[in-house]
Amino acid sequence: MASFLSKENTIANASFNRWLVPPAALAVHLSIGMAYGFSVFWKPLGNALMGADGKPLATCSAGASNLAEKLSGTAKALFATDCNWTQFDLGWMFTLFFVLLGCSAAVWGGWLEREGPRKAGFVSMLLWCGGLLISAYGVYAHQLWLMWLGSGVIGGIGLGLGYISPVSTLIKWFPDRRGMATGMAIMGFGGGAMIGSPLATKLMGYFATQPVAEVPGSVGVWQTFVVLAAIYFVFMLWGSLSYRVPPTGWKPANWTPPATQNNAMISSKHVHLKNAHKTPQFWLLWLVLCMNVSAGIGIIGAAAPMLQETFGGALIGQAGIGFADIKQDEALTKTVAAVGAGFVGLISLFNIFGRFAWATSSDKLGRKRTYYIFFVLGAIMYCAATYAAGLKSLALFVGSFCVIASMYGGGFATIPAYLADMFGTQFVGAIHGRLLTAWSTAGILGPVVVNYLHDTRLEAKVPYDQIYAPIFLVLAGLLVLGFIANLLDKPVAEKFYMTDAELEAERKLAHEKIAVANSAISAGNANLLPASKPVLVGLAWALVLIPISYGIWSTVQKAWGLFA
332-390 residue pLDDT tens: 887 887 788 788 888 889 999 999 999 999 999 999 999 999 999 999 999 999 999 98
Q: How far is CA 59 from CA 48, 54, 76, 83, 87, in A?
A: 10, 15, 10, 5, 10
**Residue type (1 letter), 312:** G
Instruction: Look at residues 496, 455, 194 and name the one whose alpha carbon lies nearest to residue 309.
Output: 455
| Cα–Cα distance measured from residue 523 to residue 520, given in angstroms and rounded to the nearest whole number | 10
According to the 3-state scheme, what is the secondary structure of 344-376?
HHHHHHHHHHHHHHHHHHHHHHCHHHHHHHHHH
Average pLDDT over residues 137-152: 93
SS3 content of the chain, % helix, strand, coil (to 5): 75, 0, 25
The kind and range of the H/E element at 491 are none
Quick one: pLDDT at residue 262? 57
pLDDT band, very low/low/confident/very high, at 545 (cuts 50, 70, 90): very high
Q: What is the pLDDT of residues 447-460, one digit of tens each?
A: 888 888 888 888 88
Of 130-134, 161-165, 194-198, 335-339, the range with the lowest mean pLDDT is: 335-339
Average of per-residue pLDDT across 461-483: 93
- C-beta of residue 468 within 8 angstroms of C-beta of residue 389: yes
Dist CA 139 CA 143 (whole Å): 6
Cβ atoms of 399 and 287 within 8 Å: the answer is: no
Query: What pLDDT is stored for residue 211 in this prediction?
Result: 61
Percentage above 90 pLDDT, the chain? 48
Query: What confidence score (pLDDT) does residue 45 get?
Result: 86
- Is a pLDDT exceeding 80 seen at residue 130? yes
Q: Cβ distance 470 to 145 under 8 Å?
A: no
Collect all residues with Cβ–Cβ distance below 8 Å to 73 and sequence separation of at least 6: 59, 60, 61, 62, 64, 86, 88, 89
Q: List domains and CATH numbers for the chain.
A: 1-56+68-249+501-557 (1.20.1250.20), 263-498 (1.20.1250.20)
Q: What angle do CA 78, 82, 86 make, to 5 degrees?
A: 55
Residue 413's nearest CA partner among 184, 194, 243 is: 184
Residue 297 corresponds to which amino acid?
I
Give me the pLDDT at residue 513, please. Answer: 45
For the purposes of burial, counting CB atoms within 10 Å of the CB of 305, is it exposed (0-12), middle (13-18) or buried (19 or more)? Answer: middle
Average pLDDT, whole number, for the chain?
Answer: 87
Q: Report the percentage of the chain scoring pLDDT > 70.
A: 92
Q: Distance between CA atoms of 430 and 500, rounded to whole angstroms?
A: 20
Check residue 52 and give its pLDDT.
77
User: Is the pLDDT higher at 536 or at 523?
Assistant: 536
State pTM to two decimals: 0.86
pLDDT at position 259 is 56
**CA dihedral defined by 298, 300, 301, 307, rounded to 10 degrees?**
110
Distance CA 8, CA 469 (A): 55
For the chain, the residue count is 564
Whether the CA torsion 396, 402, 408, 410 is positive or negative: it is negative
Q: Say whether pLDDT at 422 is over 60.
A: yes
Cα dihedral value 41, 44, 45, 47, nearest 10: 160
With contact defined as beta carbons under 8 Å apart, do 44 and 219 qualify?
A: yes
Provide mean pLDDT across the span 17-40.
Answer: 92
The answer to whether 61 touches 89, Cβ cutoff 8 Å, is yes
423, 109 contact by CB (below 8 A): no
Segment among 139-148, 177-186, 208-217, 274-283 with least mean pLDDT: 208-217
- For 46-75, the pLDDT digits (tens) are 888 887 777 878 888 777 767 788 788 889
pLDDT at 248 over 60: yes
- pLDDT at res. 495: 94
CA atoms of 259 and 322, how far apart (whole Å): 58
Q: Answer yes or no: is pLDDT of 316 > 60.
A: yes
Report which listed range, 179-183, 295-299, 349-353, 476-480, is most confident: 476-480
Mean pLDDT within 258-273: 75
Q: Answer whether residue 231 shows pLDDT above 60.
A: yes
